[in-house]
Structure 1
């Protein structure tokens, strides 16, 4: 399975991120390209532990999180379309510098080369192994790039 911790996988994702432009329209979902970029930089900052936001696991996640995680990362199948976004990661504003946000996302993707956030707790899945994080981050990134035809 692909993982964000693999150098070739990161290079592939960065190549796809670099292709994002204002012309990209969502093939599903409610986000525009600006919201998708901001969502991903915010989300990756959370996973990496570089941004000032942490969340505790929600009750529903405590009950079903591990089962859902195993189902989502058990194989190479991409995430389903229109999976719900946690409210804390929904972006409503579209007023960002597209090129600056792309650069920020690329910087964050590169930061996985030296990933070190042992205290990370996903708000739904709970405590995760580094291997699980690697697959989840790849699939999340791939999901949003495919959402915009990339």
Structure 2
């Protein structure tokens, strides 16, 4: 069974790990600072939890990428570029670290408490189910925490 941020067990494990992150942690890959990474994750998680979208036809490429990324590959690949609206490089300074970590923890606790369908189409995977959003969100958070060695 894939780890899913919609479960308390998975969300608690992510929260435990982020509590071990400090403003001084350096990335093992990529260029974001710890504060920029938290801002990025918070932006993505707010969008998943708060926005809905209209279903568009999922392409075969999106479907295959979804199966590969969510069910076959163990981790998301390093250095993959996301949507430009979630690019946080240079948009926050290290003084905001604790505020961003507090927000990160708050948003992660909202996943298992969520009672509505998550209907936002994924930019790379197309239309995905609420359950698949939980898997994708867990893998995304895990990816960035591993990026900083926590």
Query: TM-score category by the smaller chain?
Result: 0.7 to 0.9
In structure 1, list runs of 5 or more residues that go unmatched. Answer: none
Show the counterpart of 2:74: 77
Tell me the matched-pair count: 146
**Map of 1:1-150 to 2, 5 A cutoff?**
1-49=2-50, 62=59, 64-75=61-72, 77-92=74-89, 93-95=91-93, 97-115=96-114, 116-150=116-150
Closer, same or farther: CA 75–33 of 1 in aligned 2, 3 Å = same
Name the CA distance, whole Å, in 2 between partners of 1:114 and 1:126. Answer: 24
Output one character per residue of 1:99-149: Cα deviation in whole Å (capped at 9) or x when no partner.
Answer: 111010111000012222443222222211122111101100000000001
For 2:108 and 2:30, how far apart are their aligned partners in 1? Answer: 23
Residues 97 and 55 (structure 1), Cα distance of their counterparts in 2 relative to 1, 3 Å cut: farther
**Structure 1 stretches (4+) deviating beyond 4 angstroms?**
54-59
- After TM superposition, the score normalised by the length of structure 1 is 0.86
Q: Output one character per residue of 1:61-86: Cα deviation in whole Å (capped at 9) or x when no partner.
A: 74522211110011461112112222
SS in 1 for 2:144: helix
